[in-house]
Amino acid sequence: MDTLKNLLVPGSNALQDTLKLVVIGGAVETARRSAYTGWNTFVDSFFLTATFMQDDYPYDWVMHWLSKQPAWSRAREFEITTRNADSSRASVKTPTDQELEEDEEFGLADDDERLVHGRRKRKVALTPSADTTHNIYYRGHWLRITRASPRDHSGRGELKISVVARNNAIIKKLVLQAKHEYEQDMEHRGMSSGGWRWNGARQKRPMSSIILEPGVKDMLLTDAKDFLRSEEWYAERGIPFRRGYLLHGVPGSGKTSLIHALAGELGLDIYVVSLNMKGMSDNTLANLMGRIPQRCILLLEDLDAAFTRGTSRDTKSTGAPTAKTAAETKADDPNTLSLSGLLNSLDGVAAAEGRILFATTNHIERLDPALSRPGRMDVWVDFKNASRWQAEEIFKNFFPCKRPEDEPKPEDAETEAKPENKRRCRDTRALVPRLDAEEIAELAKRFAQHIPEDEMSVASLQGYLLKNKTRPRECVDEVADWIIKERDTKARLKREKEEKERLEKEEAEEKEKKEKEEKEKKEKEEKREKRKKEKEEKLEKERKLKQEEAKNARRQSRTSSVTPSTSASTTGTTNSAATTDSETSDDESDAATTKTDTTKSAETQTTEASGTKWVNVKSPSNGVAPTTGILEAIADLKI
């Protein structure tokens, strides 16, 4: 308590010392911060800093380039994660990525041993941690790279690269190199939400691995390169800067493989659109087309299948589906894409320019002529089954000739002989026997002689060669038996298909017959009910008409009856009473008359008074008064 009082007493030494400490401490902290800010400003004046946002393409380019740098993989701070190409566009597998596999520790190299419960084991990757700085040497400059994690709910991270340089030329070179290395057959797929999903990167496929008829590959490659260089030529002539290729033919003939090889050769991304995708509509397709960059390949796979499964179209155009098929499709599939919507997306006012369009189909006869006309599909290429020349070239591609550098070195043989390396050194290339050029040519010729012309697809030949990739001689010896088995399999599948179609046809006919019988039965029942109702209405109408006729007849009979004068005095009172009773009982007489009219259609009953006796007189149904003879007979009876 005394110490506190001493501090608060004015003029005390303790208070002065405290104030001095506060002032000196504040001055030191201010000087430190000023020096730190000044130093950073001085250093930053020599640095160029480029920022790349995660939702932009340059971010993917640079991340792909960084993943191939050894210094990036040697980071002291890293994250352990499982790679998934679908979850991130920047997750590109490269040979320099550090991966943890059980093979490295236990020496498992066989494909069968890499499977767990029938599935390939997931690899664990090591990537540098976020919010850390890494230094990479590039073209005489040290790059300071910082990858920042997302700061808000948008999920967008960023990448910053700083370099000591006078201008931004080094940054431009880095971005261009990263873009060039990134554009090695990248593939994107459209989503029903109207956006693009990165589907992974594939290894660049050499054009030499595509075996087509002579001249086809060169023609397509030359035409595509010429198109990409002709933007100004198109603009000067007012022609839309677009190019379309239609690849049609039998399945398994190499259409999609050729597109991937061309994309790798031209360095373009591939954007794949599935027209029969669930939820595809005109607006979705328009949104997808609006987000396509200029230099890319747009791939429409199986164009014919889209129009037979999920795409609605005008029934006036050729090849329109039946009303039943359209109704079933509309009920079962929410796909509402129309032919006009597809055409507008391809070459409408808002269609993207600068892209190369590839469309594939197995049945060109099913396409609407509006789709395949020039201007939309400029170049048509027909793909057929493999010829003997193609079979020979495919065999040579699978089994290359022996080269001098393929000879095993003594140190390599000693390394492979070690027990701990036997399992790890099982490489398919090491198991393939290296044959000289003459033997390979002879085997390829023999192989091609057994292949029937234009009967086997390229995919089936590749499948057979893959099964025998380490047995070139046995592959040739067994190809004849394989051809027989393939023919038997095709014949069996054809019979099964025909039987299935026959059963489906019979079932459809039986269903149609049953529906027809039910329809006829229903129509007959409706007609029977209609006739019955009409008959009842007719009888009701006749009954009412007879009632009216009977009433009119009674009235006329009463007014036209003649009473003799001799009996007037004796019967006057009786006639008057009868008349009164007759008039007051009209309703009862009507009911009795109706009952009588149903049995006697042409006559009605009336009653005439004669003294104390009553005589029944028949009168015509038309209400005509009795004749004179009848009246005289009545008078005689009265007498």
Burial of 91 (0-12, 13-18, 19+ CB in 10 A): buried
CB 302 within 8 A of CB 330: no
At residue 265, the pLDDT reads 87
Residues 9 and 77 in one domain: no
> Strand, helix or coil at 229?
coil
CB 389 within 8 A of CB 448: yes
What strand order describes the sheet that includes 133-138? 47-53, 158-164, 141-148, 133-138
At residue 320, the pLDDT reads 39
The answer to the question of residue 521 being in a domain is no
The answer to the question of residue 491 being in a domain is no
At residue 183, the pLDDT reads 66
The answer to the question of residue 454 being in a domain is yes
Residues 261 and 161 in one domain: no
Residues 147 and 222 in one domain: no
* Exposed e or buried b per residue across 343-378, where buried means at least 16 C-beta atoms within 10 angstroms of its C-beta: bbbbeeeebbebbbbbbbbbeeeebbeebbeeebbe
Q: CB-hemisphere CA count at 13 Å for 13?
A: 0
At residue 126, the pLDDT reads 63
Report the sign of the C-alpha dihedral through residues 617, 622, 627, 631, in that order: positive
Domain edge (last residue) among 324, 358, 383: 383
Residues 52 and 29 in one domain: no
The answer to the question of residue 288 being in a domain is yes
Residues 158 and 242 in one domain: no
At residue 306, the pLDDT reads 64
Residues 143 and 103 in one domain: yes
Location of structure tokens 């179209």: 313
CA 448, CA 150: separation in Å to the nearest integer?
59
The answer to the question of residue 39 being in a domain is no
Pairing of β 186-190 and β 269-273: parallel
Our separate counts of H helices and E strands in the chain read 25, 18
**Residue 582: domain span:** 540-638
Of the candidates 472, 406, 462, 463, which has an alpha carbon nearest to the alpha carbon of residue 439?
472
Pairing of β 296-300 and β 196-201: unpaired
Location of structure tokens 């149903």: 598
How is 525-556 classified by DSSP, letter by letter?
HHHHHHHHHHHHHHHHHHHHHHHHHHHHHHHH
CB 176 within 8 A of CB 192: no
Q: Which helix (H) or strand (E) holds 285?
A: helix 282-290
At residue 558, the pLDDT reads 83
Residues 199 and 270 in one domain: yes
CB 385 within 8 A of CB 322: no
Location of structure tokens 């261009």: 176
At residue 584, the pLDDT reads 42
Number of domains observed in the structure of the chain: 5
Residues 218 and 234 in one domain: yes
Domain edge (last residue) among 320, 348, 383: 383
CB 132 within 8 A of CB 146: yes
Beta bridge partners, 299, equal 272, 358
**CATH code assigned at 377:** 3.40.50.300
CA 176, CA 334: separation in Å to the nearest integer?
43
CA 474, CA 616: separation in Å to the nearest integer?
122
Domain edge (last residue) among 348, 383, 418: 383
* Exposed e or buried b per residue across 26-61, where buried means at least 16 C-beta atoms within 10 angstroms of its C-beta: eeeeeeeeeeeeeeeeeeeeeebebebebeeebbbb
Residues 366 and 393 in one domain: no
Phi/psi zone of residue 155: left (φ > 0), alpha (ψ -120 to 50 degrees), beta? left
Location of structure tokens 């566009």: 89
The answer to the question of residue 512 being in a domain is no
The answer to the question of residue 68 being in a domain is yes
* Distance of alpha carbon 199 from the chain centroid: 16
Neighbours of 22 (CB within 10 A): 10
The answer to the question of residue 494 being in a domain is no
> Could you report the average pLDDT of every consecutive run of 10 residues in the chain (639 residues)?
55 74 88 88 80 83 81 73 45 42 44 43 63 85 84 72 86 88 60 55 78 90 92 90 90 89 87 80 81 84 66 40 45 66 78 86 85 82 91 88 57 50 51 79 91 90 90 90 91 91 92 92 92 91 90 85 48 43 45 45 42 44 48 48
Taking CA atoms, 268 is separated from 264, 351, 450, in Å, by 7, 19, 39
CB 360 within 8 A of CB 300: yes
Burial of 15 (0-12, 13-18, 19+ CB in 10 A): middle
How far the first Cα of the chain sits from its last, in Å, is 162
Residues 371 and 462 in one domain: no
Residues 84 and 152 in one domain: yes
Residues 161 and 274 in one domain: no
